[in-house]
Structure 1
Amino acid sequence: MSTTVATIDDVRQAERVIREHISPAPLIRSYALEKELGLPADRRVWLKDYGWTPVGSFKLLGALNWMANNLERIGDRPVAAHSSGNFASGISFAGMRYGKRVIIVMPETAPKRKFELTRSFGAEIRTYDIARDHETGERDRLTRQIAEEENGVQASPYDDNHVIAGNGVGGLEIVQELKRQERTVSQFVCQVSGGGLMAGHALAIADGFPEAKIIGVEPEHADDFRRSLASGERTRIDLPKSICDGLLSYDVGEHNWPILKQHVPQSVTVPDQQTKQAMKWLYEHHGVRTEPSGAIATAAVLTGEVKPDGNGDIVIVLSGRNVDEEQFQTWIGEAH
């Protein structure tokens, strides 16, 4: 079965939708990282901080574009989706904006912050046991059940062209801002889970800065994309493990894979301990409190897993900030 693939034109079209609701997420220059990496004066490091959005992560972009493009199909039916938490609040916010009922299936162990945010936009939540999901398939079963019994419309958190295109608007923002400053980009470093964030951004970065090397980052024990690159086909991990709760998809999506395969030649892995160190580093140097999934791309650069090659600027994605305070303090306390 051939799958239609999102394009840069889809991303440009999505930009009109996104701008109706939110302003661009900030692109912050990191003088501290430039110093840490020993870069020459003509090279810069930029952090694209999606923690700024009203839902605290990038997931809002794809969710808004999905909702806007499915309004007719949804009508007065509920929207059903599963999520580790960030797409949950993203699709809930989109539901609030467009007046649609949203029902979310979330792991019972998701951070309290993600539950609170999702409920604050009016969504209903049902929970499942993520530790046994690889055996029970409860997450997908519950989501399907909502769709069947309540005549719901299912939304994928990443495996959907409207979601990919919406997320790619963040990549367009990066390209537009850096071109305005007459900068060039030699490396773009971004998290990969199901691939919705990276696929969208890869379309925009490859179009705007074709010379840039696009590098994926995954947790050490959740590296299904790296394995997929090595084998040349989508590879599933039955039990991905990491403190990066937003990066535990079993495999990259069908719609994401062709884009990733074309534009992302490399993916590196980072142990959780180094992600904790990056969380602490970002907090101490920038006052930014990130969730582990948000900090992992920075960790790849800080540890030298991604070396500052080339002559242009380096762009690093901070994908989200939704972490419980107590857990955050524990993790940065363990960073040494």
Structure 2
Amino acid sequence: MSLRIPTIADVRAAEPIIRQHVFPAPLIRSYTLERELQLPPTRRVWLKDYGWTPAGSFKLLGALNWMANSLERIGDRPVAAHSSGNFASGIAFAGMRYQKRVIVVMPETAPRIKFERTRSFGAEIRTYDIARDHETGERDRITREIAEQEQAVQASPYDDPFVIAGNGVGAWEVVQDLQRARRGVSHFYCPISGGGLMAGQALAIADGFPAARIIGVEPAGADDFRQSLAAGSIVRLAKPTSICDGLLSYDVGQHNWPILQQLVRQSLAIADTATQQAMKWLYDQHGLRTEPSGAITVAGLLGGQIDLTGDGDIVVVISGRNVDENAFRRFIGD
């Protein structure tokens, strides 16, 4: 069976669905990053902060679009999904909005805030041992069992056309905001793991700003996409490791790969220490308490690996803020 790869038309179709439930995440100008990078006065740096959403990350965008487009298939059945935590709260929020029962499978070690947000929207949670999952396959097994025993409809956290298109709405907002201001984009930094966020965002940015350089950012211990680009085919990691708990997918999705391969020509592998420094920088300079997966793009920008020459603005995706207070303080060295 051939895959249905989403297009910019799917992103545009998802926007009115998303608007029924949430307002656009803010696009914040970073004067401090402009000074840090020594940009000329004609260029600006923007942070697209998805931590502002009710679920604390971008994940509810794709979840809402998936739920809205799956209502007939779901009917009276529950929805089952696995997640490191952010999609759990996103699909839980979507279930609450559409009055559907949601069951999610999460790592036992997920941040407490991700458990709390997910439960606050009414979802049921089952847990697994992520440290041994690469050997046991427990995550997928439990999710399949829920689907079979509860007759649940499975939702993918990233490998689905509706999820990809919904996630792309955030970047479509960026395009509309900056085009209204008559500004261009030269560089776009976005985290990448399973690829559901980057694929949707890349569709929108490439359509609105065809000359923009779209750059992936991933942990050095979980850089499957960077390796996939080099190999020309999807590379699956045996055991991804990083403090970026939201960026530990084994590989990118089948629906995402064609989009990523076409539109994303480079991905940066970032050490966890650099991500921790970026978390502290964002907190000190902007008062933003971001999770590691959200701050990694700023680490990529500040790392100086990319030639920033160009005439347009730089856009940096802050994908989420769901981090426990004690972990955050430990990461930033307080």
Superposed pair shares fold, TM > 0.5: yes
1:61 aligns with 2:54: no
Identity %: 73
Name the aligned partner's letter for residue 280 of structure 1. K
Deviation at 1:172, TM superposition (A): 0.4
Give me the whole-angstrom Cα distance separating, in 1, the residues matched to 2:7 and 2:67: 19
Where does 1:209-248 land on structure 2 (aligned, <5 Å)? 209-248=209-248
Deviation at 1:218, TM superposition (A): 0.5
State the secondary structure of the residue aligned to 1:218. Answer: strand
Give me the whole-angstrom Cα distance separating, in 2, the residues matched to 1:309 and 1:188: 13
Where does 1:247-266 land on structure 2 (aligned, <5 Å)? 247-266=247-266
Name the aligned partner's letter for residue 20 of structure 2. E
State the secondary structure of the residue aligned to 1:157. Answer: coil
Deviation at 1:145, TM superposition (A): 0.3
Give me the whole-angstrom Cα distance separating, in 2, the residues matched to 1:306 and 1:333: 27
Aligned length: 334
Give me the whole-angstrom Cα distance separating, in 2, the residues matched to 1:23 and 1:190: 21
Deviation at 1:311, TM superposition (A): 1.6
Name the aligned partner's letter for residue 130 of structure 2. I
Match of 1:20 in 2: 20
1:115 aligns with 2:98: no
Name the aligned partner's letter for residue 277 of structure 2. Q
Match of 2:199 in 1: 199
Deviation at 1:308, TM superposition (A): 1.8
Deviations 1:187-222 (Å, cap 9, x if unpaired)?
000000000000000000000000000000010010
Give me the whole-angstrom Cα distance separating, in 2, the residues matched to 1:31 and 1:122: 40
1:153 aligns with 2:176: no
Give me the whole-angstrom Cα distance separating, in 2, the residues matched to 1:309 and 1:33: 15
Deviation at 1:2, TM superposition (A): 2.7
Match of 1:2 in 2: 2
State the secondary structure of the residue aligned to 1:62. Answer: helix
Deviations 1:141-183 (Å, cap 9, x if unpaired)?
0000000011000000000000000000001000000001100
Match of 1:323 in 2: 323
Name the aligned partner's letter for residue 58 of structure 1. F
State the secondary structure of the residue aligned to 1:131. Answer: coil
Name the aligned partner's letter for residue 92 of structure 2. S
Give me the whole-angstrom Cα distance separating, in 2, the residues matched to 1:30 and 1:19: 26
Give me the whole-angstrom Cα distance separating, in 1, the residues matched to 2:306 and 2:300: 6
Match of 1:71 in 2: 71
Deviations 1:258-308 (Å, cap 9, x if unpaired)?
000010011011000000000000000000000000000010011212342
- Give the unaligned 5+ runs of structure 1: none
Deviation at 1:100, TM superposition (A): 0.1
1:293 aligns with 2:255: no
Give me the whole-angstrom Cα distance separating, in 1, the residues matched to 2:310 and 2:293: 26
Match of 2:49 in 1: 49
State the secondary structure of the residue aligned to 2:217. Answer: strand
State the secondary structure of the residue aligned to 1:261. Answer: helix
- Say what the alpha-carbon RMSD is for the aligned residues: 0.7
Match of 1:174 in 2: 174
The list of structure 1 runs, each at least 4 consecutive aligned residues, that deviate by more than 3 angstroms after superposition, is none
Match of 1:82 in 2: 82
Give me the whole-angstrom Cα distance separating, in 2, the residues matched to 1:59 and 1:313: 25
CA contact (8 A) 1:301 1:307 kept: no
Deviations 1:67-110 (Å, cap 9, x if unpaired)?
00000110110100000000000000000000000000000000
Name the aligned partner's letter for residue 102 of structure 2. V
CA contact (8 A) 1:192 1:216 kept: yes
Match of 2:32 in 1: 32
CA contact (8 A) 1:187 1:309 kept: no
Deviations 1:27-78 (Å, cap 9, x if unpaired)?
0000000000000000000000000000000001000000000001101101
Match of 1:314 in 2: 314
State the secondary structure of the residue aligned to 1:221. Answer: helix
